[in-house]
Structure 1
Amino acid sequence: MQPQRIHVASAGTALPGAPVDNAALTRRFGMSDQWEEWIGVFIATETRHLTVDLDTGERRNTLADLCELAARRALDGAATAAADIDLVVMGTATPDRLLPTTASVVADRLGIDGVPVFQLQSGCTGAFQALDLAHRLLTTGAYRRALVIGGELNEKYFDLGQDFSKLRPEQLINYVLFGDGAGAMVLSTEPGGALARVCLTSSRLTGHGREPGQILEWFGPADRMSDRLPAAEDYKAIEETVPRMSREILDQVLADVGWTREDVDYVLPPQLSGRMTRRVVDELDLLGAKEVSCVTQIGNTGNATPFFQVERALQLMAPGDRAVGISVESSKWIRAGFAIERV
């Protein structure tokens, strides 16, 4: 029996608050004008959206709030009732709590019950892993419609009460690199009303024997006074590895789906920062493909990012156009990709 063909019925996204530009960040953190210039040149991100109010310190949204809004927009776009969803898969690196899972909270708010709900704890590739899992489960024929969600809320790593003048550059980077957001897609085995066909999803761990490029700590009552940094990145390893690994992912996706480089009309590259995205796109060398990026406007939103890219791509693609998405997770070097075709 041939496996089910899986279709993208819709995509929806959500951002908190108004965009925050680099000038606002440097003023709030007491940085010099040179820092604002440095952000523009070396990070190349212009704005991002934050759930924390930089002036008051108020936390205005939870991750569940943003994911619920994105999911409702995706359901509305697919003209699908929550009761018709029979599978939920979510990817995030920053859940609201360890338990209950944010995926379960969002499903409950939407009125989804009595179906499998999975939450994948993962960095930048979490949305790709969620898409991959949903795609594989749908192709079995056991499910008809899946809600795939991804999102990040970095406010728990924002300590607005500290003296920013004493932070090292590698610590300050996290305050300007990331943004908050959420996204969702409805996948269906039914082609009616579909926007695109999912041709391939892929996710592979490739970090055997390699040191992590990113670490996010969890501090419980027993270790909350630890002097460990809550977040740490090996930016040198990331800069050296991500462009090359992105090229390897592209080559593997094309080989697996049976496309040539000339078949790709749109490319959705990793969105670490505006500067890194340029390096990745140059390495991919897809001269005939149009780039779909959003990092300069919304920052690095981790597992929300692919949904913003897909949402934009679907607005641009004509019937028959093909797009490839690529993601690299540096925490333990996971490589992921997908291929879709507009219908």
Structure 2
Amino acid sequence: MLVQELKQESRVSVAPRIIGYGECLPGSPVTNEQMEDVLSIRKEWIEKMIGNDSRHFAVDFSKRTIAYSLTDLCTAAAEEAIEQTGINPQEIDVIVLSTATPDHLMPATVNLVADRLGLHHIQTYQIQAGCSGALQALDVARHLLVGERRYALVIGGDVCNKYMDLTRDFTKLRSSELINYALFGDGAGALLLTTKNCDGLEITSIENRFEGVGEEPGQVMNWFGTVPENIQELSKREIRKQYQSAKEDYKAIEKRVPIMTDQVLTTLLEERNWKREDVTYFLPPQLGWHMTKAIIDSLGLSLDATINCVQETGNNGNALPYLQLKKLHGRLKPHNKVVGIAIESSKWIKTGITLEYKEGETNE
């Protein structure tokens, strides 16, 4: 009897499929007009340099306070993904979370989320990375769904709180610093994966390659947690001078990211023996709208075939690929093919994913 059950289980088991989608974008969208009113960043400058129309922040700029933690956002996104599937949360076997901005160095944010969800004795993993971390987390999760494990919760999110000193006089900041406030946003996305035989977006391959040997980083981010109120002003100035919170080489990013995107796309298509016309939807890197649009144009893709969100959400790092995938929910038909790409400029990392929508099969 046991042998028959094992054979039946092996027949119905499939490659991991995405069956649940969730997101959390804190507060109301912060428009370019509001950015000019609150942070003195000119609306026309944002439109010219970045192209984003809005973004979400986990801070309340009017009160100069932090309104949401990463744990808050990730928990809300996870709850939506779980509720959408209708499964009992206790059925989840593993959680993988990726972020560049954890709430603490310890405890890991993934464990705070597991606590909020009431998932005791669950396996948890956390990846520290930029936007490439979202696909790295999916790669880890799909390899963990073996044996008796059937469900994996994968979460990606970032918050800008760590890089913001809300007491600063924003009118005195350099444009190289101001651009980060206009470019980045906060948010979290979550996906629920299963190996059970059911309708879902099947993960067919994931590419993850470090390309930065001997290369200068294209992006560096520093944060130091909460600075004590009684710290001397001289110390604050020295910290800012020595460790700029965010630093990007935009010229290098503009030059290399489109090339790397094309390389990943070519690799993914060759691995699957797909042609570009076989792909129903492309998920291009979501850096900023001008850059994303330039990548789409350089690849010769139509806007109708691409899934984008950065123009409205801002660049919220690890959340972006999941927000793009969530936009596909309800739109896919059997055998629709999807290709997603995320390029991380911090030390030049190429990641990509291929997926195909499949229906659950009836086993006789």
- Category of TM-score, reference length = shorter chain: over 0.9
- Cα separation, 1, equivalents of 2:156 and 2:178: 25
Aligned residue identity for 2:164 = F
Q: Given the alignment, which residue of 235, 240, 264 partners 2:255?
A: 240
Aligned residue identity for 2:171 = S
Determine the structure 1 residue equivalent to 2:37.
27
Determine the structure 1 residue equivalent to 2:47.
40
Determine the structure 1 residue equivalent to 2:166.
160
Q: Given the alignment, which residue of 197, 204, 222 partners 2:202?
A: 197
- 1:9-56 residue CA offsets vs partner (Å, 9 max, x unmatched): 11110111011100101111234xxx2112112211001111111111
C-alpha displacement of 1:75:
0.5
**TM-score scaled by length of structure 1:** 0.94
C-alpha displacement of 1:108:
1.2
Determine the structure 2 residue equivalent to 1:271.
286
Return 5+ residue gaps in structure 1 as ranges: none
- Cα separation, 2, equivalents of 1:131 and 1:215: 24
- Cα separation, 2, equivalents of 1:241 and 1:141: 41
Q: Is this contact kept in 1: 2:27–2:58, CA < 8 A?
A: yes
Determine the structure 1 residue equivalent to 2:21.
11
Q: How does 1:1-343 map to 2 (within 5 A)?
A: 4-31=14-41, 35-138=42-145, 140-141=146-147, 143-192=149-198, 194-219=199-224, 225-226=238-239, 227=241, 228-287=243-302, 290-343=305-358
**TM-score scaled by length of structure 2:** 0.88
Determine the structure 1 residue equivalent to 2:5.
none
Q: Is this contact kept in 2: 1:273–1:295, CA < 8 A?
A: yes
Structure 1 stretch 254-263 or stretch 93-102: which is displaced more? 254-263
Aligned residue identity for 2:84 = G
Aligned residue identity for 1:186 = L
Q: Is this contact kept in 1: 2:342–2:351, CA < 8 A?
A: yes
Number of aligned residue pairs: give it: 338
- Cα separation, 2, equivalents of 1:99 and 1:108: 14
- 1:146-176 residue CA offsets vs partner (Å, 9 max, x unmatched): 0000001102212222222221111100110
- Cα separation, 2, equivalents of 1:47 and 1:217: 24
- 1:209-253 residue CA offsets vs partner (Å, 9 max, x unmatched): 111111112437899742220211111111111111011111111
Q: Is this contact kept in 2: 1:151–1:302, CA < 8 A?
A: yes
- 1:181-203 residue CA offsets vs partner (Å, 9 max, x unmatched): 001000000022x3211111221
SS in 1 for 2:61: coil
SS in 2 for 1:315: coil
Bigger Rg over Cα:
2
- Cα separation, 2, equivalents of 1:218 and 1:165: 22
- Cα separation, 1, equivalents of 2:336 and 2:184: 31
